[in-house]
């Protein structure tokens, strides 16, 4: 790997700032000052230091977060804080949400900088189940609840769509709170499914993705790294 790229991969420096640091003599390679940007670095054995501090490449990261309300799953700064603003890690801007949650939706959020792993989790072809708990504006019980369950099991044609949703599972916890399990990730899918049933979602929480459930001891805004077993479960 080129030395200037190595610096930009391991520090907040851009490539141009990395080249400036090299010209200023701030970088050493195996103890020797180096000023040439194109110098090759063996990332496994060479020792690179910037102003005396040893640098190391950031590997692939896999995290879970309990996403709180009014936090956005976006890279751009806007009206709300971003989920990456809650994470204290180097090169945090590389982390991408694995299936986004709306700003008004809470619950389990996965983040990674491993694009292939993210695709395995989100691809409809892999039919990874996602479980949501929705608070509803209007109660549904008796025949109305059973009708909704049947409609969801058969697949719903959402507004603006040409194909129905994949068969899903709906269970009513109370007349105004329901658990919905889906294997797709269409735009605002859960809210649109309940709209197709003539109702409105007033609050939404993602409980699990695949075999991975949100731990009870992970408070809103907190995060932790996934275990090797959790990563391999997808």
Active site residues: 102
Give 169's Cβ-side CA count (13 Å radius): 9
- Beta carbons within 10 angstroms of residue 111's beta carbon: 24
As a whole number of angstroms, the distance between CA 30 and CA 176 comes to: 65
Long-range contacts, 141-146 (Cβ 8 Å, 24+): 141/172, 141/175, 145/172, 145/175
Alpha-carbon distance of 182 to 168, in angstroms, equals 5
Find the helix or strand (DSSP H, E) in which 139 lies. Answer: none
Cα gap 170→182, rounded to integer Å = 9
Closest by CA to 130, choosing from 101, 159, 164, 96, is 101
């Amino acid at each position: 790997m080129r030395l200037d790229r190595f610096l930009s991969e391991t520090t907040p420096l851009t490539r141009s700032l990395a080249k400036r640091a090299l010209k200023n003599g701030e970088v050493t390679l195996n103890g020797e000052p180096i000023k040439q940007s194109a110098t090759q670095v063996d990332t496994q054995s060479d020792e690179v230091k910037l102003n005396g501090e040893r640098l190391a490449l950031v590997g692939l990261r896999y995290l879970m977060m309990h996403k709180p309300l009014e936090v956005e799953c976006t890279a751009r700064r806007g009206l709300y804080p971003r989920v990456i603003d809650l994470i204290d890690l180097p090169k945090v801007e590389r982390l991408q949400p694995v299936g986004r949650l709306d700003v008004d939706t809470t619950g389990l959020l996965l983040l990674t900088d491993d694009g292939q792993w993210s695709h395995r989790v989100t691809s409809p072809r892999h039919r990874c189940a996602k479980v949501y708990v929705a608070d509803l504006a209007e109660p549904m019980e008796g025949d109305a609840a059973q009708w909704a369950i049947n409609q969801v099991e058969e697949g719903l044609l959402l507004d603006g769509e040409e194909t129905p949703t994949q068969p899903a599972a709906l269970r009513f916890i109370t007349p105004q709170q329901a658990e919905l399990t889906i294997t797709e990730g269409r735009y605002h899918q859960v809210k649109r499914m309940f709209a197709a049933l003539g109702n409105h979602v007033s609050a939404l929480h993602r409980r699990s993705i695949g075999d991975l459930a949100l731990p009870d001891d992970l408070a809103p805004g907190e995060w932790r790294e996934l275990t090797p077993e959790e990563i391999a479960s997808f």
